[in-house]
Structure 1
Amino acid sequence: MKGLKQSLATTFTKLFNAILQPINVLYFFFLFGCGLATGVILSSNLKSVSCNLLASQFSVSAAPTETVPLATLPAFKLPRTGLKEHLKVPDVKHDMDEKELLWRASMTPRIREYPFDRVPKVAFMFLTKGPVLMAPLWEKFFQGHEGMYSIYVHSSPSYNESKPESPVFHGRRIPSKDVQWGSTNLIEAERRLLANALLDISNQRFVLLSESCIPIFDFSTVYTHLMNSTKNHVESYVLNGPVGDGRYDPRMRPVIKIEQWRKGSQWFEMDRDLAIDVVSDQKYFPLVPEALQEKMLC
C-alpha cells in the first residue's frame, strides 16, 4: 500500500512537470519579446535625442560670429639691433684713456668679408700745433665726397680757436697731449691719431698730414689711387751719421739690431692692417725709452 502511494506521487510529479514545461517556454518567449520591444523603443528615443542634439549644435555653429581681421591685430615684433651697437663709432671727444684707446683700436675681425654694406673711407689725420692753416683749400678738396673720408686733428691741448673752425674740421679734434719735435711723444701722438681713426670700421687707408700740407690732386684721384694700392707708403732707409745709425742705442739689442735700424720721415700712408699693427705694438715701441731723447733730436 505504501509503495502504491509513492508510485502515484512520482507519476503525479512527472505529469505536473510535463504540464509546466510548455508554460515555461511560453513565459521565456514572453520575457524575450518584452525585452526586444523595450530595446527598440529605447533605441528609437535615443536616436531622436541624438538628432536633436546634432541639429541644435549645427544651428549654434552655423550662427554668424563676429571675427577680428588679422590686419587689425597689433603686430608685435622685437626690435633688431644686429651689429648696430658694435659698429657705432665713438665720438672723437671720448673719455677713453691711452691704454683703453689702444686696446679698443687693436680689435679686428678675422673674417675678411663684411656682413653689411661698407664704403671704404680714407682717414685724413692732421698732426698740428694749432689750426689747419690750409683749411679753405682742404674744404674745397673734400666738397661733394661726404661718406668717403674721415678727418681727425691732433693739436696742442693749449690751443684755443680764436675764430670758428672750417665746417669740415669742426668737432674733429681728438683728445690730445703736448708734443715736442724729436721726442717719443711725437710717436705717441701718431699712434693716438691712428687709434682714433681705427675706431671707425669703414676707414681703410690712413694718411698722416701736417697743418701746412696741401692736396695737389683732386679727391677722386687720391681716393682711387689709395684704394687700388696694395702698398704702404712709409719712408725707411739706411743713413750713416749722427742723425741716422748714430741714434741707435745698444740697449735695444737683441730685439732691434743695428742692421735693422732705419731712418725715415714721420709722414706716412698705410692700410688698415698695418695701422692695427702700429697701435698694437708692444715689442718695439717700449724699447725707445726717455733716455734716448737726446739721440732722437734732429
Structure 2
Amino acid sequence: MNDEELLWRSSMVPKIKELSFKIQPKVAFMFLTKGPVLLSPLWELFFKGHEGFYSIYVHSHPSYNKSNIDESFIFHGRRIPSKEVEWGKVNMVEAEKRLLANALLDISNQRFVLLSEACIPLFNFSTIYTHLMNSTKNFVESYDQPGPSGRGRYRPRMSPTIKLPQWRKGSQWFQIDRDLAVEVVLDKTYFSIFQKYCKEWCCADEHYLPTFVSMRFRGRNSGRTLDLG
C-alpha cells in the first residue's frame, strides 16, 4: 500500500467503542526513530507481563529497515514501511501519520503514544495504561507563542484556511485517543496547507498537530503532553 491507500484503509476500521465489550483495549506505543530504539532492555522490563495490553510500531530510517542489525526481541518485527525523515520538515508529520495509520489497523488500539528512540518510561506500565484509559482528554501540547520561533514561523499564504491568530506551537510528542487519531489521518484540508507552505524552518512537526487540534478539537484536548517517557 502507498501512503494514500494506507490512510484511507486505516480510517475505515471500526472505532473501538463499537466493539469495546468484545476486545481488550490496548495502548499503541509508536516509536519515531533514526535507527534502533535506545535503551531497549529498559523497555523490555517495562512491557514484561503486560502482553495483550499494548502494541508497538517503529518508524525508522529506510536504510535501517533493510539492515541486518540485531535488535531487542520486543522490537523485532515491529518496524513499519517507512520513508526518509528530516528534522523540521513536513515529512516528519507524514511519518507520524504513517505510524497512526498502521496502528489504527488494529481495532483494539484505543490510545496512541508517540515516542522517540531516546525516550524511557518514567512510570510503570500499569500506571501509564490506567491513566490513559481513564482519561477523557487528548494530550497534544498547543499554545500561542509570539516571536520568531512561534508566530514567526507562520506563512501568510496559509490564510484564509489557517490565520495567524489560529497558529499554535507545541511538542510533537503526543498521547491521543482513537477518535482523534482517525481525524488526523483523514485530514487533508489543513495538512495540504502545511505541505505547500510550511517549509524553510517552518518546523511542521511543532505546529501542524497543535494548530489542527486547537482549531478543530480544542474542547477534547488538554493543551499539554504527559511526561510518560
Superposition TM-score tier, normalisation by shorter sequence:
0.7 to 0.9
Structure 1 partner of 2:183? 277
Q: Distance in 1 between matches of 2:37 and 2:16?
A: 37
Per-residue CA deviations over 1:183-228 (Å, capped at 9, x if unaligned) read 0000000000000000000000000000000001111111111100
Matched, 1:222 2:124: no
Is the 8 Å Cα contact of residues 15 and 107 (structure 2) preserved in structure 1? no
Deviations along 1:244-277, whole A, 9 cap, x unmatched?
A: 1111111111111111000111100000000000
Q: Size of the alignment, in residue pairs?
A: 203
For 1:154, the equivalent position in structure 2 comes to 59
1:168 aligns with 2:74: yes
Is 2:39–2:120's contact at 8 Å kept on the other side of the alignment? yes
User: 2 CA distance for matches of 1:248 and 1:113?
Assistant: 39
Among candidates 163, 175, 184, match of residue 257 of structure 1: 163
Question: Match for residue 84 of structure 2?
Answer: 178
Closer, same or farther: CA 111–292 of 1 in aligned 2, 3 Å: closer
User: Residues of 2 paired with 1:124 and 1:111: CA distance?
Assistant: 17
**Partners of 1:285 and 1:163 in 2: how far apart?**
35
Q: Write out aligned runs for 1:47-86 (5 A).
A: none
**2:32 is aligned with 1:127:** yes
Aligned-pair Cα RMSD in Å: 1.7
Amino acid across the alignment from 2:127? T
Ranked by relative contact order (alpha carbons within 8 Å, sequence separation 6 or more), the top structure is 2
* Aligned counterparts of 2:120 and 2:16: Cα–Cα separation in 1: 36
Residue type of the partner of 1:260? Q
Give distance in 2, aligned partners of 1:201 and 1:174: 17
Does the C-alpha gap of structure 1 residues 124 and 257 become closer, same or farther in structure 2, counting only changes over 3 Å? same
Residues 97-246 of structure 1 mapped to structure 2, 5 A cutoff: 97-109=2-14, 112-114=17-19, 117-159=22-64, 160-161=66-67, 163-246=69-152
Secondary structure of the structure 2 residue equivalent to 1:207 = strand
What is the CA–CA distance in structure 2 between the aligned matches of 1:110 and 1:219, rounded to whole Å?
Answer: 24
TM-score w.r.t. length of structure 2: 0.84
1:102 counterpart letter in structure 2: L
User: Higher helix proportion, which one?
Assistant: 1
What per-residue deviation string (whole Å, max 9, x for no partner) do you get for residues 33-88 of structure 1?
xxxxxxxxxxxxxxxxxxxxxxxxxxxxxxxxxxxxxxxxxxxxxxxxxxxxxxxx
CA distance in 2, matches of 1:289, 1:149: 32
Are the aligned partners of 1:128 and 1:153 in contact in 2 as well (CA < 8 Å)? yes
Residue 171 of structure 1 and its aligned partner are, at CA, apart by: 0.3
SS in 2 for 1:293: coil
Name the amino acid aligned to 1:212: A
Identify the match of residue 293 of structure 1 among 179, 184, 199: 199
Query: Normalization by structure 1: what TM-score?
Result: 0.65
Summarize deviations over 1:150-172 as a string: whole Å, max 9, x none: 00000000115454211110000
Look up the equivalent residue of 1:254 and give its one-letter code. P
Q: Which runs of 5+ in 2 are unaligned?
A: 207-229
Question: Contact 1:131/1:161 (CA < 8 Å) preserved in 2?
Answer: no
What secondary structure does 1:105 align onto? Answer: helix
Of the three residues 165, 170, 173, the one matched with 1:267 is: 173
CA–CA separation in structure 1 for the residues paired with 2:136 and 2:186? 21
Distance 1:282 1:161, change over 3 A: same
Partners of 2:189 and 2:183 in 1: how far apart? 11
Q: Which runs of 5+ in 1 are unaligned?
A: 1-95
Q: Return the offset for 1:240.
A: 0.9
Runs of 4+ in 1 over 6 A off after TM superposition: none
Query: Equivalent residue of 1:195, what SS?
Result: helix
Between the aligned partners of 2:109 and 2:16, the Cα distance in structure 1 is 16
